[in-house]
Amino acid sequence: FKEQRFSDAAEQLKLAYQNQPNPLFLFNAGQAYRKALWPLEAKAMYERFVEAAPAHQLVPEAKGYIQTLAILIEERQAKQKAELTLLEKQGELQEKQSELQEQVKKREEAQRDLERVKNPPIYRKPWFWAVMSGAVVGVGVVLVGVLVTSYRFKTDGGLITVSY
């Protein structure tokens, strides 16, 4: 206890009480646990002390510690509960954020799809194929015309007579 190894001192005092049931060992074990910041164990030792020696002069002090430790334990439990609730709320918030991110991605994807439908590539527009068809027909007509005229009027160098 003097070396401020309070939890070790409390364990030794509990062993000493088992070997020699002196209620003062329980009180001192409570003191050691209290100083080690182990409120549950300290409260249990003080309660055992009060049960073992109800007429001892340190009983009022022990009862005061019991009340104080009970409040401390309740506060710790409330704090732990609040922290747990906060962690749960944070988990729910992260879930909702993930869901929102997924919805945003889906919306962006749908927007891109809509843009593709609104502004299709040029080869998917009807006027493009109309122009291409017209160009192919035009080139075909010109080629046929050139071929027909070049083969029809070929001569061996002689004179062509045209009769009506």
Residue-level pLDDT at 47: 94
Amino acid identity, residue 146? V
Banded pLDDT at 113 (limits 50, 70, 90): confident
| Residue 87: how many other CB atoms lie within 10 Å | 10
The whole-angstrom separation of Cα 104 and Cα 102 is 5
The whole-angstrom separation of Cα 117 and Cα 137 is 29
Q: Indicate if the pLDDT at residue 153 is higher than 60.
A: no
47 burial type by CB count under 10 A (0-12 exposed, 13-18 middle, 19+ buried)? middle
| CA-based torsion, 104, 110, 113, 119: positive or negative | negative
Q: What pTM did the predictor assign?
A: 0.53
Tokens found for residue 47:
């309660």
The whole-angstrom separation of Cα 36 and Cα 1 is 10
72-95 pLDDT, tens digit each: 999 989 999 999 999 999 988 999
